[in-house]
Amino acid sequence: MSEKLERIKTLIIGSGPAGYTAAIYAARADLKPVVYTGMEPGGQLTTTTEVDNFPGYPDGIDGPTMMIQLQQQAERFGTEVRIGMITAVELSKEVGGIHKAVVDNDKTIEAETVIISTGATAKYLNIPSEQRLRGGGVSACAVCDGFFYKGQDVAIVGGGDTAAEEASYLANICNKVTMLVRKDYMRASKAMQHRVNSLPNLEVRYNSQVDEVLGDQVVEGLRILNNITNEKEEIAITGLFIAIGHKPNTDIFKGQIDMDETGYIITKGKSTKTNLPGVFACGDSQDKEYRQAVTAAGTGCMAALDAERYLATIASPEQVA
Ligand code: NDP
């Protein structure tokens, strides 16, 4: 066999909590999984400092350490973890068909099952002061990092359901929350808007956007621009949350796998099955609602179980999956 072509049972694309949990289960089921890590080995958690909400860590754990431990746990059962990007795929539509994936535009992997755990990327405003202070008070996940701002004044950017939900979450634990909405209305559902408007320590500012995040090492304030009057105003805050949407990392599957209009992979019912036999999706690539490490890990487990059952079914078709 050419070195540039390799046949495996289970290919796992992506190395966040979903991918590594899928790998732990797949390896223990003897599927000999190979994980391709993608560009950010360990996924989004490697950019988080403290993870306080993953069950089993009473004192919390830092994101990068947690991901190394998950990798080690997957490797302990025989998972092969490889640094590399899957740059193209050719997925079979047939039951029992072989799926092809190209690694770094070079080598081709042929896999009986594919588990997609490519995650999603939080969108940022991409202004220099925001980028400089990421990890120093600027965060894209209120549920992950809000706790560190307990009793403090914070701001949140965005007017969709995520921003409204996260603003309410923050209002419960922070002293004051300022919500910046760039238009004169919110995109969030009416129910979420009612909730936001009912919170006494939450102030919504419409037609407002971030002009600059203030602070040298950590966030100390925010300069807000009113995009109608062009007036600028500075407020004191210690945390800034960006909630302007996520982009699922699913571009390479477009046209082959069923997705919603924003690129999230559609899975069937409570399973991780996609529209293609033998191809499963887990973690943030298919979840725009919960997006937590623990829920990603849960669906990773489900994907491995679904893959195992699928392989058992095609090995003996009379067996009911
Ligand atoms: P959305 O795309 O719905 O909303 C993004 C928000 O961010 C909009 O208000 C948008 O403003 C604003 N925005 C975008 N770019 C910028 C920018 N550069 N500067 C300032 N503001 C910006 O994303 P969400 O993450 O809120 O929601 C994604 C999907 O998930 C939606 O379908 C939502 O309904 C769903 N969801 C459902 C939940 C639930 O049911 N519990 C919870 C969370 C999400 P503008 O309107 O001006 O474009």
Give residue 136's pLDDT.
Answer: 94
What percentage of residues in the chain have a pLDDT greater than 90? 86
Q: What mean pLDDT do residues 216-220 have?
A: 97
pLDDT band at 5; cut points 50, 70, 90: confident
**What is the Cα 226 distance to its own chain's centre?**
31
The dihedral formed by the CA atoms of 62, 122, 106 and 113, expressed in degrees to the nearest 10: 80
pLDDT band at 240; cut points 50, 70, 90: very high
Residue 152 carries which DSSP code?
S
Give residue 15's pLDDT.
Answer: 96
Residue nearest to atom 17 of ligand 1 (CA): 125
Q: What mean pLDDT do residues 155-161 have?
A: 96
Per CATH, is 5-121+246-319 categorized as 3.40.50.10860? no
**Ligand 1 binding pocket includes 108 (Cβ within 6 Å):** no
Give residue 164's pLDDT.
Answer: 94
CA–CA gap between residue 238 and residue 221 (Å, rounded): 7
What percentage of residues in the chain have a pLDDT greater than 70? 97
Answer yes or no: is pLDDT of 244 > 60.
yes
CA–centroid distance, residue 244 to ligand 1 (Å): 5
Give residue 319's pLDDT.
Answer: 56
Query: Which stretch of 135-144, 259-268, 300-309 has the lowest confidence by average pLDDT?
Result: 135-144
CA–CA gap between residue 309 and residue 319 (Å, rounded): 10
Answer yes or no: is pLDDT of 184 > 50.
yes
Residue 166: in which H helix or E strand, if any? helix 161-173
CA–centroid distance, residue 187 to ligand 1 (Å): 7
pLDDT band at 134; cut points 50, 70, 90: very high
More confident residue, 232 or 291: 232
pLDDT band at 321; cut points 50, 70, 90: very low
Give residue 46's pLDDT.
Answer: 75
Where residue 184 falls (left for φ over 0; alpha for ψ -120 to 50; beta otherwise) is: alpha
Which tokens hold the place of 58?
A: 């009473």
**Ligand 1 binding pocket includes 160 (Cβ within 6 Å):** yes
Angle at 300 between CA 115 and CA 256, to 5 degrees: 30
**Side chain identity at residue 311, one-letter code:** L
Q: What is the pTM of this model?
A: 0.80
pLDDT band at 278; cut points 50, 70, 90: very high
CA–CA gap between residue 49 and residue 6 (Å, rounded): 37
Q: Nearest to residue 272, comparing CAs of 256, 286, 284? A: 286
Fold classification of 124-242 is: FAD/NAD(P)-binding domain (3.50.50)
DSSP string, 20-45: HHHHHHHHHTT---EEE--SSTTGGG
DSSP string, 244-274: S-EEES-GGGTTTS-B-TTSPBP--TTS-B-
**Ligand 1 binding pocket includes 205 (Cβ within 6 Å):** no
Locate the domains of the chain by residue range: 5-121+246-319, 124-242
Same fold, 5-121+246-319 and 124-242: yes
Query: Which stretch of 47-51, 74-78, 88-92, 157-161 has the lowest confidence by average pLDDT?
Result: 47-51
Q: Nearest to residue 239, comparing CAs of 223, 219, 224, 225? A: 219
Active site residues: 141, 144-145
